């Protein structure tokens, strides 16, 4: 499955939520990297990390892996803590928490039936 901009934005949102829950720095995510021929870059401007990931022509799992690794590197995580965070971030992307629907029309339709 190839990456799309919408999937990328949703993954960035899910990773950000999961990182904040763990008191981690949430980098900005963008695409593509500014350097030709690389899949991922991480830069810091005024101390704020930014992860750029190439989407085009890559499997979705490779894109997500680069995004997750960007969070790990941006926070300087190593060893067992880095492994725990990677696992938690993969879960956040695989099973994102959707906000409850605020649509009253679907609920009203069920009651009236």
Name the DSSP class of 3: -
Q: Which pLDDT tens digit goes with each residue over 4-31?
A: 889 999 999 999 999 999 999 999 999 9
Q: What is the CA radius of gyration of the chain?
A: 17
Note the pLDDT of residue 61.
95
Measured between alpha carbons, how far is residue 68 from residues 16, 17, 28, 29, 104 in Å?
A: 10, 13, 12, 11, 36
| Nearest of 85, 93, 95 to residue 53 by alpha carbon | 93
Q: Which pLDDT tens digit goes with each residue over 29-82?
A: 999 999 999 999 999 999 899 999 999 999 999 999 999 999 999 999 999 999
Query: Is 15 in contact with 71 (CB distance < 8 Å)?
Result: yes
Q: Pairing mode, if any, of strands 28-30 and 48-53?
A: parallel
Q: Which pLDDT tens digit goes with each residue over 80-98?
A: 999 999 999 999 999 766 5
Residue ranges covered by each domain of the chain: 5-96
Query: 109 falls in which pLDDT band (50, 70, 90)?
Result: very low
Paired tokens of 58: 């890559």
- pTM of full prediction above 0.85: no
């Amino acid at each position: 499955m190839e990456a799309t901009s919408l999937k990328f934005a949703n993954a960035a949102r899910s990773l950000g939520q999961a990182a904040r829950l763990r008191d981690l720095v949430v980098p900005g995510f963008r695409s593509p990297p500014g350097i030709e021929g690389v899949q991922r870059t991480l830069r810091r401007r005024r101390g704020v990390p930014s992860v750029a990931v190439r989407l085009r022509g890559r499997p979705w799992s490779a894109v997500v892996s680069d995004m997750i690794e960007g969070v790990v590197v941006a926070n300087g995580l190593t060893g067992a803590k880095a492994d725990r965070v990677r696992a938690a971030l993969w879960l956040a992307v695989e099973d994102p928490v959707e906000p409850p629907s605020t649509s009253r029309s679907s609920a009203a339709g069920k009651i009236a039936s």
